[in-house]
Amino acid sequence: MLQFVELIKDIQPGIFVHSIYIAEELDQDRKAGFYGNVNSQVESVADQLGAIPELENGFDAIGLSQGGQFLRAYVERYNSPPIHNLVTFGSQHMGISDIPTCRPYDFLCQVARRAARGAVYGHWAQENLVQAQYFRDPTNIATYLEANQFLTSINNEIPESRNQTYAKNLATLNQLVLVLFTEDKTVVPKESAWFGSEAPPSEFRFIDQASEAPTYADKVLIPMRMQPLYREDWIGLRTLDERGRVVFDACVGEHMQMNDCWERLVRKYIGG
């Protein structure tokens, strides 16, 4: 993250850059990427951003991986100071249907992953394991809607608690730039970066061309414009899109392998 900040400063001389943190100590801040209550973390970030004088008139923001949907939560719930352009790289806007894999010697990640997979919709996991709080199982949507307190909220999926402020705030963005990694195997499905999700199994049916018997595909993806949250405009995404303010882009490579594709996006949407 610190290296990325310096790269941005190199191509945008004189720009003020703030790197959001949850804990001031680097090892504790990294731990907060796996353990903690996301709703509380987003609230803390809102306080943090509100105390920075350089940001008081608004700013452009970059969200890397899960940071993207967390920044979107900030826009919907707080947005003071306001975000002008929000660029998200490989973010899980419609959640994930599998807990992200870990690097071979990333023991912190491995412990968190095992715990999350063991009881992803249990109360402890939903309060304390970050990845569990945006896990959206297409085979168990009813339990997800009942147990989840973060993703269901920022996607306004619960009718009785739907918050109109979320839609109003998101629609104030100048640009929402959604970047997908073409070979992403960490985010499942990778199309979550574009507000895509796996359909429930009941929607997997298709006709086998040889036997003409009903069968099931491995998965069927629901694209952004087919999502109920888009069609009924639960979060202001449709309003934003119809104004021409939603941008789909892609980086060739695996998750967070941005190579050089980040530079043109930063030049176009950050600090202008």
Active site positions, annotated: 65, 184, 255
Q: How far is CA 89 from CA 11, 21, 179, 210, 248, in A?
A: 19, 18, 5, 41, 11
Residues in a beta bridge with 87: 62, 177
Q: Say which residues have a Cβ less than 8 Å from residue 225's Cβ, sequence separation at least 6.
A: 231, 241
